[in-house]
Amino acid sequence: MRAALLCALCLLTSVPLADAASPWMAFEASVARVADGDTLSFTGRREVCRLTGIDAPETAKKGRHEGQPGGDAAREFLTRMIGTRSVTVLAYGADHYGRLLCWVLTPGALAVNLELIRFGHAEVYVYDAAAPPPFLPALRQAEVEAKAARRGVWAQERYESPAEFRKRMRHATDQETGR
C-alpha cells in the first residue's frame, strides 16, 4: 500500500502544481506548531493546515469544552512524528474555516495523514463528497486495519467520533447560553 501511495504522490508532484488549471499547491515548510491531531501551522506562512481526509479526536479548548478521549494522544503522536521539522505539503483547497486542506509528508516520505489513521489516532473524514480527499481508498483501508487491531481510539469501549463530539459540545453550549 505504501508503494502505491508513493507512486501516486510521485505522479501528483510530476504535474506542475502551480499551473492555474491545477487546484494543487505544493511547498516545503517547517512546522511551527501542532495545534491538535489534525491541524498544524508553518513557520513564515499565514495559512493553517487541516490534514485532509482525517478527523482526530478533539483536544480541550480552554473555556469551551473538555478534551475528547484520544485527543491528547493524537496531538502527541503528530508532534512526535513531525515536531518542528521540514515537511512536504500538498494542499488542494480550503475548508469552511479557511484552513488549507493538506496531505503532509515527513522527510522520510511517510504520509502523515495515513499514519494517523493507521495507528488509530484519527478516523477517515470526507469534508465534501463531491471532492473527496486524495488517496481515500488507502485511508479507508488503513482505518479498517486499525479498527480490527483495536489501535488507538478503536480500543475504547465506547468511541465517539470527533464530529459527534463537536455536535454534542455545540448543543451543550447552546443549552448554557439559551440559544
Convert the pLDDT of each residue in 61-96 to its tens digit.
776 668 899 999 999 999 999 988 899 999 988 888
pLDDT (tens digit per residue) in 46-62:
999 999 999 999 998 77
pLDDT over threshold 50, residue 11: no
Contact call for residues 125 and 53 (beta carbons, < 8 A):
yes
pLDDT(113) > 90: yes
Query: Which grid coordinates belong to 54?
Result: 482525517
Domains in the chain with CATH codes: 2-177 (2.40.50.90)
Q: Where are the beta strands (DSSP E) in the chain?
A: 25-36, 39-42, 48-51, 54-55, 86-94, 100-105, 123-124
pLDDT above 60: residue 146: yes
Q: Please, what's the b/e burial string for 59-82 (b: 16 or more CB within 10 A of its CB; e: otherwise)? A: beeeeebeebbbbebbbebbeebb
Q: List beta partners, residue 33.
A: 41
